């Protein structure tokens, strides 16, 4: 088991520096253009594929880093470059993780390569879970999957929303209800192969931030997928549903924790790392500006009002990174989140990103409010971190329930 350390080893430092160089040389110069266009930055994704960043191999290497720091380190550097473009690069990973977590070896080997394509023809994938009436309340999901035993096919109907790469993806991973009486424990995940009839893109959202990342509704109308597209297979699903029914009937069974929620808890530090990257980028712009901008005959950083803000910004960023690294290390080494450490890291880092980027705009004054400087875009991008992968309110609820053991509502 890897011991917790704040010192990156030589290999990790090499990867960090490589990613930082790509973020500085490729992502940042393109950030303003693709934010204005509000389109998927295919040329940048292709560049990432050419150098090996946009690939399953790269993310697998970081995911299996025994210290747990590979993924948060990668997320921080890429999102330091630009949140919208970075999300376009890493968004496919959401679907890939869904297959890795629930699929068979055959499904993993078949579908994940199709999610990425290759450097000559890059592809993307979409993970479709949220619905118009089921965001934080996953138990309210309405998309249904019904098994047609005669044809060994599953028939999917419903509408998904807020899907990164939804509708433009080569492969969609869709979460659907297979047993409505079990609530969130009656869900299963399905692969929808490319070109499957009945799947279409609904509304594409025009967003406040992360505008280079494609976000849309996915409409499913009598979408038929082969039985082998059920992640994990039907035998495993039947066993899981049977256990869930037994627990539901047992005294106190309704309080058994949903396995999907545990997965979300483990993935939240990665989102925290994204927020750290955006916050750090805004802080660095504000620091450089404060050193060079003069008012009343001296740099504005000479004023306590500015200097103290920068001190607080840096302190919150470093504290956020420590929480993210702790949770990532715990997840990698199998230590349970007895105090909801995953949610703690995501909550604090996401709130920090909003606060730090707002302070950066303030330090730049009128310039910070214009698109001539990047902090305006960073401030817009930061707003998403307190919303997706569980809102700040949900994180606080998870933490409070974990600490108290009570069903706080």
Q: d(Cα 370, Cα 377) in Å, to the nearest integer?
A: 9
Active-site position among 76, 239, 389, 393? 389
DSSP H helical ranges for 91-127: 92-102, 105-116
**Active-site annotation holds for 389:** yes
Let me know: does 156 contact 225? Beta carbons within 8 Å.
yes
CA-CA distances (angstroms) from residue 281 to 10, 65, 374? 24, 25, 9
CA-CA distances (angstroms) from residue 113 to 163, 183, 243? 20, 32, 33
Residue 68, SS3?
coil
Nearest Cα to Cα of residue 99 among 154, 173, 188, 153? 173
DSSP 374: T
Q: Which two tokens stand for residue 161?
A: 């929303």
Helix (H), strand (E) at residue 362: helix 341-364
* Cβ neighbours of 298 (radius 10 Å): 9
Q: d(Cα 397, Cα 385) in Å, to the nearest integer?
A: 17
Let me know: does 286 contact 375? Beta carbons within 8 Å.
yes
CA-CA distances (angstroms) from residue 21 to 80, 231, 278? 11, 37, 16
Beta strands at 125-128 and 171-177: parallel, antiparallel or unpaired: parallel
Residue with tokens 């933490």: 399
Nearest Cα to Cα of residue 77 among 55, 95, 43, 53? 53
Let me know: does 159 contact 217? Beta carbons within 8 Å.
yes
Let me know: does 35 contact 41? Beta carbons within 8 Å.
no
Q: Which two tokens stand for residue 253?
A: 């069974």
Q: d(Cα 255, Cα 155) in Å, to the nearest integer?
A: 31
What values do phi and psi take at 200, rounded to 5? -145, 160
Active site residues: 389
């Amino acid at each position: 088991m890897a011991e917790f350390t704040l010192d990156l080893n030589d290999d990790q430092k090499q990867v960090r520096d490589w990613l930082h160089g790509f973020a500085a040389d490729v992502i940042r110069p393109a950030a303003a253009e693709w934010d204005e266009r509000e389109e998927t930055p295919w040329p940048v994704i292709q560049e990432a594929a050419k150098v090996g960043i946009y690939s399953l191999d790269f993310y697998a290497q970081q995911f299996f880093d025994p210290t747990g720091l590979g993924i948060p380190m990668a997320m921080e550097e890429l999102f330091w470059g630009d949140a919208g473009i970075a999300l376009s690069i890493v968004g496919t990973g959401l679907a890939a993780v869904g297959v890795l977590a629930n699929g068979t070896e055959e499904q993993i080997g078949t579908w994940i390569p199709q999610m990425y394509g290759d450097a000559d023809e890059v592809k993307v994938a979409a993970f479709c879970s949220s619905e118009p009436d089921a965001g934080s309340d996953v138990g309210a999901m309405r998309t249904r999957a019904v098994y047609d035993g005669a044809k060994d096919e599953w028939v999917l109907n419903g509408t998904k929303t807020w899907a990164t790469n939804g509708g433009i993806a080569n492969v969609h991973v869709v979460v659907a209800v297979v047993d409505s009486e079990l609530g969130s424990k009656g869900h299963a995940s399905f692969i929808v192969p490319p070109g499957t009839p009945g799947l279409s893109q609904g509304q594409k959202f025009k967003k406040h931030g992360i505008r280079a990342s494609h976000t849309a509704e996915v409409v499913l109308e009598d979408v038929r997928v082969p039985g082998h597209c059920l992640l994990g297979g039907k035998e495993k699903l039947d066993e899981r549903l049977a256990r869930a029914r037994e627990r539901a009937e047992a005294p106190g069974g309704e309080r058994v924790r949903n396995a999907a929620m545990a997965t979300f808890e483990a993935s939240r530090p990665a989102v925290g790392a994204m927020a750290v990257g955006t916050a750090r980028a805004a802080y660095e712009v504000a620091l450089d500006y404060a050193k060079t901008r003069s008012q009343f005959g001296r740099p504005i950083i000479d004023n306590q009002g500015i200097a103290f803000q920068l001190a607080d910004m840096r302190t919150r960023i470093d504290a956020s990174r420590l929480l993210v690294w702790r949770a990532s290390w715990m997840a990698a080494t199998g230590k349970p989140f007895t105090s909801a450490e995953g949610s703690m890291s995501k909550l604090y880092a996401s709130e920090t990103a909003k606060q730090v980027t707002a302070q950066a705009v303030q330090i730049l004054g009128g310039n910070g409010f214009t698109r001539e400087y990047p902090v305006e875009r960073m401030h817009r991008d930061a707003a998403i971190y307190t919303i997706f992968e569980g809102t700040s309110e949900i994180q606080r609820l998870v933490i409070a329930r974990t600490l108290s053991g009570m069903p706080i509502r």
